Amino acid sequence: MTTLQFRNEDARFVYLATLVHLGRPGSELDPATLQRHDLGLQAVHDYVLPRLNQAVVEVEASPYQVVRLGEALLGCGNELKQFALAEGRSMVPGFSDAVHEMYPETVEDPSVAMDLVQHPVMLRNRMAQALRDAQAQIDQAVEDHRAQERAKKRWWEIWKG
């Protein structure tokens, strides 16, 4: 597990990023089994939401969640652009309401959201080392699993793939 520390402003964008992530169909499904799993960002979303008013929010996240959060932050930037261009509307459930609540100036002028786009991108850039470390841990776990599977096969059972 990795401990991520976010300032108040960063925690708001983490929350928006989790909304974008959770708004995508199948975001919380395991790609291999197509079953729900607890490794997605729902736990991060549920943890950050009541703590949005704190000066600093610390989040414990698995390597998989760290990587997903990095992807979600980029999606948040894209959704903020779309929000501004669509005059304050979004296809992501709850995104428009959350942006209006956290940034009241977007109610009168949704184009203000364009000024917010840089923040989630910069946050992801600040998380670059954590993202690299998390991806390395995931890659190592996958390689270890593959090695264990190869070790289980007997050389004369070539038909088992």
C-beta separation of 126 from 133 below 8 A: no
- What pLDDT does residue 127 have? 93
Return d(Cα 55, Cα 78) in angstroms, integer.
26
Tokens 């998390």, residue?
A: 134
pTM for this model (two decimals): 0.83
Tokens of 6: 């976010």
Is residue 29 predicted with pLDDT exceeding 70? no
* pLDDT mean across residues, the chain: 87
Q: What is the pLDDT of residues 56-114, one digit of tens each?
A: 999 999 998 999 999 999 999 999 999 999 998 999 999 999 999 999 999 999 999 99
Tally the C-alpha atoms within 13 A of residue 108's C-alpha that lie toward its C-beta. 2
Comparing 101 with 28, which gets the higher pLDDT? Answer: 101
